[in-house]
Amino acid sequence: MDDALLALEDGTVFEGRSFGAREHRTGEVVFNTSITGYQEIFTDPSYCGQIVCLTNPQIGNYGANEADCESGKPFIEGLVVREFSELASNWRSSERANDFLARHGIPVIGEVDTRKLVRKLRMGGVLRGIIGVGGVDREELIARARQAPSMAGLDLATRVSTGNAYSWSETVEPCSPSERIGKTRPAEFKVVAYDFGIKRNILRRLTHAGCQVTVVPASASAEDVLALNPDGVFLSNGPGDPEPLEYQASQVRKLIGKKPVFGICLGHQILGLALGGKTFKLKFGHRGGNHPVLNRLTNKVEITAQNHGFAVDADSFADSKVELTHINLNDHTVEGLRHREEPVFCVQYHPEAAPGPHDSHYLFDDFISLMKESKRS
């Protein structure tokens, strides 16, 4: 087995062993603190352009399967772990995680001191890096890491978005006989979902809640969306910096007041821009399944799944028509907002929780309620 190196733009080099694909890949190095759900992380389009370090010390031990994919392929640029298991033991596993990543060209560096790496990223902020395999020159790798594109100012949403509109009908299925998820409701509402890097479990949750979903590209105009005569519009998660998405924000602005709108993650940031707000890059982002968020409408705390490196600036909303509804209890950044007069709301975190807790599933019901009220009026 080949040796591997992780070189960072600040000149730091981590040594390890190569798994997955024997390729060199660059990206912004970030970390995720989730305990389970590594395959969902691999295949989340929001990780496009990023090398992901997982803090759980053993990864790969329950293998991989098609059902846990959040998209058609992995979108991470590379993977950094402490221990990468080449054995898979799980009744749902259809192949080893190593084979899954190798088949899709994703390099993995294992046997890395991930605690040291995460501490560096938390203290100094995320860094560009590169995974190199085999006999590679360290200085050359560092130079290549410094040449990698910065995430700030990078439009990745249009890169990962679908090229054509399509319908979605798959609903939520239990992963085990003991899991209780409730019955799928009849499809009473037509929803158009913008794909900025949408996850499959979001689509499943919308269908489960009673939506007939049509997914449209990130380039779809407001006129295209309204021509489909939806009962509501959904804005998805996705990768990259929200600020370059001026066209998308302008189209969402046209939809406000005409249809109920619900946004998640990047969709939340785009909606924030459409409402006159601004966004900024976080030092090391929020990525994991245990982030506490205060719902200011109920005064309850939700444990949430998160994956984002940018946030909406709370101080940028001079318009009193925007109400901040959710706040992160770790760093007090904005986690949710709504329009005081129009049926428009969004959250920064992932209520579909794949992987993660289920505290925030109610948000899909809130979207249904807005569409019901809008149809009655």
Q: Which residues are catalytic?
A: 265, 350, 352
3-class DSSP state of 178: coil
> Where do the H-state alpha helices sit in the chain?
38-42, 97-103, 114-124, 138-147, 157-160, 200-209, 222-227, 246-255, 266-274, 362-376
Report the b/e string of 26-44 with b at 16+ CB within 10 A: bbbbbbbbbeebbbbbbbb
DSSP strand pairing (344-347 vs 334-339): antiparallel
3-class DSSP state of 32: strand
Look up residue 110 and give its two tokens: 């294992």
301 close to 293: Cβ distance less than 8 angstroms: yes
With tokens 């605690």, the residue in question is 115
Question: What angle (nearest 5°) sits at the alpha carbon of residue 149, between those of residues 9 and 106?
Answer: 80
260 close to 367: Cβ distance less than 8 angstroms: yes
3-class DSSP state of 222: helix
DSSP strand pairing (13-20 vs 50-54): unpaired
207 close to 184: Cβ distance less than 8 angstroms: yes
3-class DSSP state of 241: coil
